[in-house]
Chain A
Amino acid sequence: MRGVVQSLAAVGRKLLTRKYTAGYPEVKPELPARYRARIVLTRDPDGQERCVACNLCAVACPVDCIDVVKAETEDGRWYPETFRINFARCIFCGYCEEACPTQAIQLTPDFETADYERSSLVYDKDDLLIAGEGKQAGYTYWAVAGKAIAGKDKGEAQGEAPPTDLRDLCP
């Protein structure tokens, strides 16, 4: 009985508050930066693609709407030859962003992705890739990975010792 009265009071108090009407679409809502909507692919601070086509976003995706195909540059850098998201299926859960080891895939507050044509909701890499670093400034996966790429030889990643000398007998 007490609970019922409390609930009625809580709802009743709302009758006294001022009405609020969102003026959307004329007035755009101010959404927090971590709001989960349209997905983008970001770049490293040096402007190179962040995505290394590891497929973790694809496997984390509960609706299987991400398709990534790996390719490799001459110097050993992995990158996605194809990166495709079917936004007709995406549920904006953000698991892909959580799974991403390179901070490449990020969700943005831009939620206005509706369309009349389902096929135009299939976004390819060109549609997803943006120019900047997004929410994670300063992070470069290649600076911590052990694989050598152009401009970062073995032993030059963060916390790495120079390559071993196999003929050295010292302990």
Chain B
Amino acid sequence: MSKVRLTIDGIAREVEAGQDLLSASLGLGVEVPHFCWHAALGSVGACRLCAVRIHDGPDDDEGRIEMACMTPVAEGQRVELADPEAAEMRARVIEWLMVNHPHDCAVCEEGGACHLQDMTVATGHHRRRFRFEKRTHRNQDLGPLLTHEMNRCIACYRCTRFYRGYAGGRDLDVFGAHDRAYFGRYEDGPLESPFAGNLAEVCPTGVFNDKGWSEHYARKWDMAATPAICTQCSVGCNLFAAERGGRVRRVQNRYHGAINGHFICDRGRFGALHVAEARLDHPRIGGAPADAETTRAAVQEALAKGAVGIGSPRASLETNAALRRLVGAERFFAGVGEAEARAVGRMAGWLAKGRGASLKQMEAADAVLVLGEDLTGTAPRAALALRQTARGAADALAAEKGVPAWLDNAARVAGEGRRPPVALVTPMTDALDDVATWALRRPPEEVAAFGQAVAAALRGEAAEEAAREVAEALKAAERPLVIAGFGTGRGDAVEAAGAVAEALGEHARLALFPPEANSLGLALAGAEGLEGAVAALEHGRAGTAVIAEVDLVERADPRLVERLFAAAETVIALDSAETRTTARADIVLPVADWSEAAGTLVNHEGRAQRSFAAVSGGRPAGWRVLAGLMAVRPGWDTLDAMLDALARDLPQLAPAKETAPGAAFRLPLGQVARAPWRMSGRTAQDLAGRVPEGTPPADDDAALAFSMEGAQGADAPPALRTSYGVPGWHSASAAPFLTDGPDGPMAGDDPGVSVLPGFTAPAPLAEHAPRGAGLAPLPLHEPFSGDELGRRAQRLAQRCPAPVIALHPDDAAEIGLADGQRVAVDGGEAVPLTLDPAVPKGHVAATAGRLLPRGGGHRAIVEAAE
């Protein structure tokens, strides 16, 4: 990239050529007021707030007022933000935007974190001179997740640009004419897009807001924010968890340049708030509450019989490593079927070859092949990234015509709707079909064959027509991308994806999505499938099973789980909430959920990331509980000591310690403060009848303080940032000040360390046809439904469609089942049967986890329920 030199308010600056002046200024930390511009949505020049005076060169004395967002940076430009005429114009723009804005700040959730409020204060407007009436609107009921208060709208169009243009939603639009422009749905009803929650952050004022936050409300300045990692899928989006009074009240996007950027999905945003539901607070023996000493004695007795450890793809690396230490490496297994454990191990192997694509790299791809994965269901944020890929070709065509991509509307017109080749090979109708060039339907067991056919075609061998077309498109691309996962319950698509990438050459990238937040971490710890644990128990090599934070029923063949419970004398389960596994366990030990303890998770690209405790004084972390059960206490008192032990036990995962500074890390101002400077009520909070004394609780596991004392915002290293911390900019619109370029990496680099280098993958598992009677299972993944914990988040559950069991009409007729009849899979939960000709014959499609365990390798029996 070439550089251009310009002056802003008399200071000589050098910036990347080809950007707009607004992005360049914000990147330099120059605070140009703006509304409609959004770092991820580009410039449309709708609000006229970013007016600045621009002189073309040293000889241009007069210059002219222009919109910074619509002006490309140019050599020799002189920009005056402080020019009185430009400042006056910005003040008048604010004044007219405020003409109809209601007198609502006191009763508006956005107040205190409102971009409109920030800009109004910045321009000095404080009194409405306009003496005529304010126009008003009626609101809509937009479902359980978002509020709607249309009076507050300033018609910046950010919502529709995000919802329709960026996220591919269809049911939010602008209606009406003149100054009556109305942003909403055609009629009341929940917003359909699984990314609608982002509107709460995209909207620069209080039209759309998080309904759950409003219910348990605290102003932004009153909440302590903690950097956390989403546990609802394998993408590992970065979050801010905002807490007050011991309750996580809101989850928001935390910018990460390579992963989530400015947006997260609704499953992450609202599913994380499951923490208050079905909590396990007390140890239990045989169904009855027990005290800590009795429990410890009972556990010691059970462990003495020899124990297998069953690790979890949703628990932290630390918890899995502690369990591995407790039972021994040879008796440590994964709480998922061997097919899944092996497939994820293979993914790690493919990714370790350096082909892995981050979401950011996915967006840059110019030809895509998706093998079997319903991305919108299994890793929603990755589906959003793929939608951006689909805009790449249009932007490239626009660039040929000299229209830069940031000039959003113009680039869309100049791009002529051109699409890059995207091939979706999935068993069922896919939410991404609208961006696909080829939406190919194949039964799960034929997906890999199609991938291998594409690989064969690339090698110049004979292949079917469709595969040849896809192969040609991939071959012609500069940055081809192959996507696969374990969504269909089969691991062969991963091998096929790898084969296609190898056939394409060095430049091809792979995006592989394991099922859960730490699936890859568990695989890197070398855990084999649940079958091994059952065999050890059945052969008497162990008498006890210790299950750490995993509901086996969700993940493995029910017959296998039955065998485990039958073979184990004692089952010890650790979890944060009641699950179908803890309900049957003999000894239950409560452990921290994601909001109560720090932990490290490995995401789909092999990036280890640290999540921190958002509330103090919660239940102990899983690894602490496990350390307490060991006959000889291992001396892990802090997370740092635990990570040292982990690095010794599992050298592959040693870099996990580098994901964030240790607890002893100090800045000139001390620790990093979770709470903002202006946190209120410290000397009155939670004091019915008592006066607070003493010091704030300490965090042994992080250099983060549970108070406002310490460094804030950009002063903190990226992995510990608790806010964007730009004075005067309290909304998510402050993020561009902390990034290199509007969509670039975080200043100081994006957090996370790869733990893949040097990993040798296990051999692929020979895929065999599922045995026994019944139908082949086809798990359906729902973007609004997370794992057994995330599903409990109340508002997300209200938004989530009812679970489904679907059969092809011919199969249903053969079994003798009718549409709407109540049926169950393998004796599980009964729901009305759906007949759908889109279900491949010989398969039963059912909601993953809840009705059908997601691992393959077995057949499922569908029966009429009583």
Instruction: Name A's B-contacting residues (CB within 8 A).
Output: 52, 54-56, 58-59, 61, 63-70, 72, 78, 84-86, 88-89, 101-102, 118-119, 121-122, 124, 141, 144-148, 154-155, 157, 159-166, 168-169, 171
Contact = CB atoms under 8 A, between A and B. Distances in A.
Given A145-B106, A163-B137, A84 B684 contact: yes
Interface stretch (B216-224, B333-341, B796-804): B216-224
Contacts of A63: 683
B684 A66 contact: yes
Given A84-B687, A122-B689, A147-B102, A54 B107 contact: yes
A58 B681 contact: yes
Contacts of A52: 106-107
A64 B684 contact: yes
B240 to A, nearest CB: 19
Contacts of A69: 218, 245
22 contacts: A55-B219, A58-B222, A59-B222, A64-B684, A67-B687, A68-B681, A72-B215, A78-B106, A88-B691, A89-B683, A122-B687, A122-B688, A145-B107, A146-B103, A146-B134, A147-B104, A154-B151, A164-B135, A164-B182, A166-B180, A168-B177, A169-B177
Interface in B650-694: 678-691
Contact of A146 (B136, B215, B221, B689): B136
Nearest to B151: A146
B152 interface: yes
Contacts of B222: 55, 58-59
A160 B128 CA distance: 14
A56 B680 CA distance: 9
Contacts of B539: none
Given A146-B103, A154-B136, A163-B137, A64 B689 contact: no
Contacts of B107: 52, 54, 78, 145, 147
Interface residues of B, number: 47
Contacts, number: 138
Interface in B134-154: 134-139, 149, 151-152
A25 to B, nearest CB: 26
Contacts of A157: 102-103
Given A155-B136, A161-B134, A146 B104 contact: yes
Interface string B456-476: 000000000000000000000
A66 B104 contact: no
B111 interface: yes
A155 B100 CA distance: 12
A54 B680 contact: no
Contact of B135 (A55, A119, A161): A161
A118 B111 contact: no
Contacts of A146: 102-104, 134, 136, 149, 151-152
A46 to B, nearest CB: 17
Given A147-B102, A147-B149, A59 B691 contact: no
Given A55-B222, A101-B105, A146-B103, A119 B689 contact: yes
Nearest to B179: A164
A64 B245 CA distance: 15
B106 A102 contact: yes
A152 B177 CA distance: 26
A126 to B, nearest CB: 11
A37 to B, nearest CB: 18
Contacts of B219: 55, 59
Interface string B370-383: 00000000000000
B684 A65 contact: yes
Contacts of B137: 154, 163-164
Nearest to A57: B680
B59 interface: no
B10 interface: no
B683 A65 contact: yes
Given A52-B106, A145-B102, A154-B137, A122 B684 contact: yes
